[in-house]
A and B are shown apart, each in its own frame.
Chain A
Amino acid sequence: MSFINYSAREINCKIVFYGPGLGGKTTNLQYIYKKTNPESKGKMISLATESERTLFFDFLPLALGTIKGFKVRFHLYTVPGQVFYDASRKLILKGVDGVVFVADSQAERLEANIESVENLRKNLQEQGYSLDGLPFVVQYNKRDLPSAVSVEELNQTLNPKGAPFFEAVAPQGRGVFETLKEIAKQVILQIKKGS
């Protein structure tokens, strides 16, 4: 749930980029960080190992504006995608307001995508959330690689409920801001509904 600080008149929302290992979650955040107005962003924290995998998370705060006099800040997190780091993922999902699932479009990562989306659903349930009730966007990344599976097939497998989805090539920024805008829009609407 979004954290509202009444004395500071701030609303803090947590968006988690979830998905299989090396699927492009960190690259999404890096691109957003690189291209966002310096006045709107805080310091990006990235905790990775030497081999560049995200060990715990990346974190990027973004300020978007105000709702009813409250500043709205988005905290973007990534999770370590490897199947090994389930405990970290659970921890990072605590208090989540919206999820972006970054899928790796390559055919050979289809099983890892399926495992990851099932893992997301399960980890949310354990914390009393339902994926179907949360703001949720799917991003099909790595569309420029030759073994990319068709979007139709990916949607059937990973997104049967028909959440908004975007194709992306994260290092080039294609689809990155479209994804972010969609999830931010859904989160804000949710907050407005709640208020």
Chain B
Amino acid sequence: MSAICPKCQNVLQLEQIPLRKDVQMTCAVCQAALRVSLVVGLDSAPTAGAASGSRPSSPALNEKRVMAAVEGEASNEMIREVLTTEGFEWVTVGPGQDIMTRLEKERPAVLIVDVGFPEIHGFEIAELIRKRSDLKEIGVILLASIYDKTRYKREPDSLYGADDYVERHHIQDQLLSKIHRILGTRSRPIPETAPPTETVRTAAEPPPQSPIRTATATQPRSSGPSEPAMTLDGVFEDLLEKEGKTTVEKAPAEDLKKPPPKPKRVEDPAAHETAKRLARIIISDIALYNQRAIEEGIRNGTFYEVLHEEIDEGKKLYESRVPSAIVVSTDYYREAIDDFIEKRKAEMQRRA
């Protein structure tokens, strides 16, 4: 029986087959201290965890296998194309299937999961995976939608345990590099031999408990079935008598089309914190609708020039809603803008 040193990939010959007890040994090539234990009945190659390795090895993952839990034929097809041209094995799990059970069975190196997967959110799956000692090495990439490719984009604050995320329209140009980055940064042992019926695992630290195969309970989401009803028929049977006549309405009254009058001055006693919050919301709104101008202004140092109309409009609103004593004493509006510029600048530098 043999095992593979995770540090130098040296094949270790074992004279004794460890049964219930772990065996301590040293790699003859790199001198790494190893702990070897036997795992019976797993469909994976012998692997070992090095003394210096941070995580003990679980049954090996298939480094060439990527699983996609993604809604929509078009997205799945795009992912398949990208993966297969690079030699990855592509497996899918669809709505209604238990993703965790499939992960146990398929043991992919990476999971690509829709953030809005019907039964369970992508980030909830990421959290579940990270809690499982036998699955936590799986790389997780969240697949996110984006509403406007150019204007409406922000960096997420948290990926809930996922390694990365990719937006739907960047599958073709970003997904592969993200997968490679995950695989490259993981010090995961690579299986080199055919799957045996018995697996020997070595680890410097006490091995994890045998994988516990537990059913994954998923909460039904409050929005109900994933496919929305397409009409309202039948919904109000107890409330309404049906009538199927065509109805066409006119537009609402003309007075609704008038331009909004200037906001009235609001004397708000909630003072400084309210003023600060209002200032942040105004700049947040400006940013939301002027994404390109914002980035251009920050990049070229012309933020106030490029957006002077919006900034002036926002200032008027701010001054109309904040008590004049506060407006005069502290310019929270300007502070909020400067703070926003700093944060966005840092974000742009991170992305670059």
Q: Which residues of A contact B (CB under 8 A)?
A: 20-22, 24, 27, 35-43, 45, 47, 51-53, 56-57, 59, 61-67, 71-73, 75, 77, 82-88, 91-92, 106-109, 111-112, 115, 142-148, 151, 165-169, 171-178, 180-181, 184-185, 188-189, 192
Contact = CB atoms under 8 A, between A and B. Distances in A.
A37 B158 CA distance: 40
Contacts of A185: 235-236, 239
A143 B121 contact: yes
Nearest to A82: B285
A27 B145 CA distance: 14
A83 B145 contact: no
29 contacts: A21-B288, A22-B289, A40-B244, A40-B246, A51-B290, A64-B232, A65-B242, A71-B247, A73-B247, A75-B249, A84-B263, A84-B314, A87-B260, A88-B260, A108-B154, A143-B121, A144-B116, A145-B146, A147-B154, A168-B223, A171-B147, A172-B116, A174-B118, A174-B228, A175-B228, A176-B228, A184-B232, A184-B235, A185-B239
B341 interface: no
A188 B251 contact: no
Given A144-B144, A169-B145, A180-B232, A111 B243 contact: no
A51 B144 CA distance: 23
B69 interface: no
A186 to B, nearest CB: 11
B319 interface: no
B162 to A, nearest CB: 8
A179 B216 CA distance: 29
A161 B152 CA distance: 31
A-B interface, 3 closest residue pairs, ranked by CB to CB distance from nearest: A144-B116, A61-B249, A146-B156
Secondary structure call for the B interface: loop
B222 interface: yes
A142 B116 CA distance: 9
Given A82-B285, A85-B260, A177-B228, A145 B223 contact: no
B39 interface: no
Interface in B103-122: 114-116, 118, 121
Contacts of B240: 64-67, 72, 188
B308 to A, nearest CB: 16
Contact of B241 (A63, A67, A77, A175): A67
A146 B251 contact: no
A47 B260 CA distance: 13
B223 A87 contact: no
B313 A84 contact: yes
B222 A165 contact: yes
A67 B241 CA distance: 6
B229 A61 contact: no
B256 A57 contact: yes
A190 B9 CA distance: 72
